[in-house]
Structure 1
Amino acid sequence: MAGILEVILAFRKSLIIVTVVVLTLALPLAVPTKEAKCGYVIIVMAVFWCTEALPLAVTALLPVLLFPLMNIMDANTVCREYLKNTNMLFVGGLLVAIAIEHWHLHKRMALRVLLLTGVRPALLLMGFMVVTAFLSMWISNTATTAMMVPIARAALDQLHKLELESNLESSGAGQASEVQEGSTPEEKGRTHVLTIEDERKRNEDLLEEKHLKLCKGMCLCICYCSSIGGIATLTGTGPNLVLQGQVEELYPDNGGVITFVSWFSFAFPTMIVLLVLAWIWLQIRYLGFNFKENFSCTGNSSAMVKEKEAYAIIQEENKKLGRMKFAEIAVLVLFILLVLLCFTRDPGFAPGWATNIFNKKKKYVTDGTVAIFIAILLFIIPSGFYNAQTDGKSKFQAPPPLLEWKVVHEKMPWSIVFLLGGGFALAKGSEKSGLSAWLGTRLTPLQNIPHPAIAFLVCLLVATFTECTGNVATTTLFLPIVASMAEAICLNPLYVMLPCTLSASLAFMLPVATPPNAIVFSYGQLKVIDMAKAGFVLNILGVLTITLAINTWASSLLQLRTFPSWANKTGMCP
């Protein structure tokens, strides 16, 4: 029996593939319609994404095979979905992020901010959260976490070392204490002596417990904020780009409702609110909300000395980087230029440079155009003025550019490009087959439910689902469904698509939910229950924050209370 189980476990992925493909085939065979065939493809891909029976990117390629075979879309139409403007924006943004990481510019920015915040417990926690969230707005959350955790550990280890040394010195200087016990004459002569060793051991245990709590809180704040920070910008994380692509795919006449500026104006305040709530929650859980102790307002001279020593660690790390090189300055300038060009291309409240320069044909130039322009400059601009020779030869050699293709080849997550494309293909297939319209008609009873309740339930459902599967895959599966629901009940599709997208980034409870969680878990100080308890509360706070955002500032900024004409495909809505 044990041998059979071992064989099943060894071939479990193959068994999942065969079982899912064969069993769900009953749907298109029993109901031979295009809607059922498209539903079959979606079910197969959803199961494969959840179980990772196939690599995520390989699963995303299934529409290229299945849609033509099932007469849903021809192969040329399907393949065109895999490299759209959104994919170009993603590639361009990642190339800039790779350049920042390659020249260690992100580490320099992180250390500079930590030098400003200092190493007092609450402020240190806040400093790492702010730095992590900011970096995650522009570079991948995985790279951000991998860079920030070692810096945090170095500072915490130094703090702990100094606390232990201080405890040893104070114990050595102290005297043994005598404590009289008992109240009867027979017990008056009995005494208990607390030795120096006992007292030192007890203090060490308390310090170890305190240090472990602080380490847990710091690790969690880094992995959580790398996910929180990504929601602030359109290129910060995959689900945001999936939303933009799905809106362009499902509603081609939307007039550019989702741009870099419109997304930032709504998502950045949401990120700030969630960041503050996460800071308060992690501080309560791992530091205790003691204002004097957490902010070091006790005036304790030994505590001040320990802080200075830990602060010196960060200063030393910053000194190791030396002065900014030409390459770092050039990458920083290009990064700032990218942000400025994206913000001013089509700000909404005034004509942007794309409108003025290109004769009001603003659709000719997109955020993807800007991102690719900056990315190409990275391969043109040299990383210095000369290339020093180490072999004694005097022959002049031109320095390499700011970014080389071999670096891109090593660090570019190409699988996400296919994953995005697979999502766009699914959305197109759902529309062409009529599945989206069919789902919409079945969801019309939801019009009797208050709209805020619908947004809340969507957030809760997606936040739960994203703990078990990738955030991009989750968004890809749910966005067409909630969009169809919104159309059926004459609700602005963005009112449910935005919370669906943001909630996909609320993967806080499990180590396998997202790579940043896995990175901090690998250091061994966290248990699954630690992440689950802290993440559960943060998930609830995230759902409430997103629901609040959708019903307040987002409604005003994006006019979510009105049903737009570009979403009125059937003409049934007023």
Structure 2
Amino acid sequence: MSTVTARPRVRLPRLTLVQRLGLLLGSIAFLVPLLIRIPGLEPAGHRMLAIFLLAILFWVTEAIPLYATAVLVILLQVLMLSDQALVGGAGALPPAATYFATLANPVIILFLGGFLIADGAHKFGLDRSLAAVMLRPFAGNARLSLLGLMIITALLSMFVSNTATTATMFAVVIPILAALPAGSARTGVALAIPIAANIGGIGTPVGSPPNAIALGALEAAGQGISFIGWMLLAVPLMVVVLLFSWWFLSRRYIAADTPMSLELSADFDRSPAAMIFYLVAGTTVLLWLTEPLHGISSSTVGFLPVVALLATQVMGAEDIKRLQWPVLWLVAGGIALGAGIGKSGLDVWLLGLVAWETLPLTLMMVLLVGVSVGLSTVISHSAAANLLVPLTLSLAVGLPIDPTAVGVMVALACALGMALPISTPPNAIAYATGEVPTSEMIVSGVVIGGFGALLLALVMPTLWGVLGLL
């Protein structure tokens, strides 16, 4: 008698109280603008406000996964704010393709290439081997070794996702942690990795999703930035905040006489597939950095490794499956949200609620950065950027602020929200080691994030202007 293997049951995840409240409040908030007439807001604006409020509550409470909210936003825009809207009466509406196209926006293509390179670096062990080689000059002194760990983490995080970088670096430093005496030294090293990863992620457009969200919104507003252009704006801030972080962490946690061994071995893969990957990845990064010389857009360059690595079979279907598709969809949802806010006139109405022109420019910068850091501390950086970038870009249009500066500032500020274990996946990884008390993460996150926020709001706009970058 043959036996039939029972098919495993797929169980739905249990919703937390916060998620249930998010579903309820988000649904109510969605209905209110559709049922109540708001003076000064056009019908299309009412519909977009409903979508916007739902997105805020769903993203903040994570009532459904972040990427699910992103694609829900796109679907609702197609059904309510496009030429395929189920109900008319909202005036001339853009084609549905306007919203669907966000899923293949040039910024998405740029990130796709970045993700494939990052996955290949892990597949061939390039990330760990590079880390081992670059850490050798920093051996011998505990504080110098900490600086080396942070520099390597930040450099990797510029081109590899913050989460993957943190996981890779913890694989490198776990033996180092075990050799350190229990106490503050272990806490300092464990904190240094996620902090450096978060800071390093601001350095390039492919470093973190908020960067891509800002790039997409700026491109839609006719304010595109090249790959090297972003680096010129962001890397100075990255370097200063990274050095301050090292100074703070080393002084607080690492005694000058603390022994720290960095005996690491590099094992570069020399197989034909690995050599092809090195060539393609190196060429891609070189083309990104020299965009002003050859004029090929960073998104077009980003598609090069996708084609080259798949065509040569260096990477295949399994590698494609491992890519961070939820992140790409989340970025696409943010781009679609920004497009809808602008096309519906909701941006003009929202900004008209406050007399922004009466606020001093410096105070306005501090508020923008402060809100961005605060929000990204308690919700995902990507969700915070999705909510704030479209609104702040609209704000900049009617005020004496460069829209490019505003978009970049908000994206960079979102990376500085790192005071809690829930703030970023790198923080969660560090917390899971058991070496980082929440209280210490809060202290370090507030001090370092606060320093970076003040620098970003009060110094960077002036520096960008003096250097002629904006």
* 1:77 Cα offset (Å): 2.5
* 71-80 or 519-528, larger mean C-alpha shift: 71-80
Q: In the alignment, is residue 260 of structure 1 matched against residue 227 of structure 2?
A: yes
The equivalences for 1:58-97 within 5 A come to: 58-71=68-81, 73=93, 74-97=95-118
- Listed one character per residue, the Cα deviations across residues 441-497 of structure 1 (whole Å, up to 9, x for unaligned) are 334x32233323221221111101001111111111111111121112242212322
RMSD: 2.2
The 5-angstrom pairing of residues 327-338 of structure 1 reads 327-338=273-284
Classify 1:519/1:501 alpha carbon distance in 2 versus 1 (closer, same or farther; 3 Å). same
Superimposed CA distance per residue, residues 160-202 of structure 1 (whole angstroms, 9 cap, x where no aligned partner): 4xxxxxxxxxxxxxxxxxxxxxxxxxxxxxxxxxxxxxxxxxx
Equivalent residue letter for 2:44: K
* AA at the equivalent of 1:101: H
Deviation at 1:545, TM superposition (A): 2.3
Counterpart CA distance in 2 for 1:273 and 1:496 is 20
- Amino acid paired to 1:518: A
Q: Is 1:427 aligned to 2:373, yes or no?
A: no
Partner of 2:128: 107
Q: Please report how far the alpha carbon of residue 129 of structure 1 lies from its aligned counterpart in structure 2 after TM superposition.
A: 0.1
Partner Cα separation in structure 1 for residue 342 and residue 149 of structure 2: 44
**Runs of at least 5 residues in structure 2 that lack an aligned partner in the other structure:** 1-13, 83-92
Cα deviation for residue 105 of structure 1 reads 0.3
Partner of 2:455: 545
Q: 1:470 touches 1:513 (CA, 8 Å); kept in 2?
A: yes
Is 1:239 aligned to residue 210 of structure 2?
yes
Letter in 2 for 1:239: P
Quick check: 430-439 or 127-136, which moved more? 430-439
Q: What aligned pairs does 1:27-38 form with structure 2 within 5 A after superposition?
A: 27-31=33-37, 33-38=43-48
Q: Give the 3-state SS of the residue equivalent to 1:504 in structure 2.
A: helix
Quote the residue 2:200 is aligned against.
229
For 1:36, give the aligned amino acid: H
> Which residue of the partner structure matches residue 6 of structure 2?
none
Q: Deviations over 1:410-457 (max 9, x none)?
A: x211011111111111111111110112223334x3223332322122
User: Structure 1 residues 442, 103: CA separation in 2 closer, same or farther (over 3 Å shift)?
Assistant: same
| SS of residue in 2 equivalent to 1:442 | coil
Identity of aligned residues (%): 28
Q: What does 1:38-49 align with in structure 2 at a 5 Å threshold?
A: 38-49=48-59
Alpha-carbon distance between aligned partners in 2 of 1:10 and 1:553, rounded to the nearest angstrom? 46
Please report how far the alpha carbon of residue 128 of structure 1 lies from its aligned counterpart in structure 2 after TM superposition. Answer: 0.5
Candidates 26, 29, 35, aligned match of 1:20: 26
Q: 1:238 deviation in Å? A: 0.7
Q: 1:542 Cα deviation (Å)?
A: 1.2
Structure 1 unaligned spans of 5+? 1-7, 161-207, 295-305, 355-364, 382-400, 561-574
Deviation (angstroms), 1:242: 0.8
Deviates more, 1:124-133 or 1:36-45: 36-45
Amino acid at match of 1:60: A
Match of 2:254 in 1: 287
SS in 1 for 2:290: helix
Amino acid of the residue matched to residue 454 of structure 2?
A: L
Relative to the length of structure 1, the TM-score reads: 0.73
- Look up the equivalent residue of 2:229 and give its one-letter code: S
Deviations 1:104-143 (A, max 9, x none): 0010000011111104210110010001000001111111
Distance across 1 between alignment mates of 2:68 and 2:105: 18
Question: Which residue does the alignment assign to 2:287?
Answer: 341
Higher-Rg structure is 1
- How many residue pairs match? The answer is 442
Question: What SS is found at the alignment partner of 1:236?
Answer: coil
Q: TM-score, normalised by structure 2?
A: 0.88
* SS of residue paired to 1:551: helix
- The 5-angstrom pairing of residues 322-401 of structure 1 reads 324-345=270-291, 347=292, 352-354=293-295, 365-381=296-312, 401=313
The alignment partner of 1:82 has SS state of helix
Displacement after TM superposition at 1:324 (Å): 4.2
Task: Mark the CA change 1:447 to 1:336 in structure 2 (over 3 Å): closer, same or farther.
Answer: same
Deviation at 1:327, TM superposition (A): 3.8
Per the alignment, residue 55 of structure 1 pairs with 65
Task: Write the letter of the residue equivalent to 1:341.
Answer: L
Partner Cα distance (1:423, 1:111) in 2 = 37
Q: Is the 8 A contact 1:234 1:263 kept in 2?
A: yes
User: Residues 407-556 of structure 1: matches in 2 within 5 Å?
Assistant: 407-409=319-321, 411-443=322-354, 445-556=355-466
Report the secondary structure of 1:231's partner residue.
coil
Counterpart secondary structure, 2:174: helix
Q: Is 2:29–2:50's contact at 8 Å kept on the other side of the alignment?
A: no
CA distance in 1, matches of 2:22, 2:367: 30
Q: Which amino acid aligns with 1:511?
A: P
Aligned partners of 2:20 and 2:63 also within 8 Å = yes
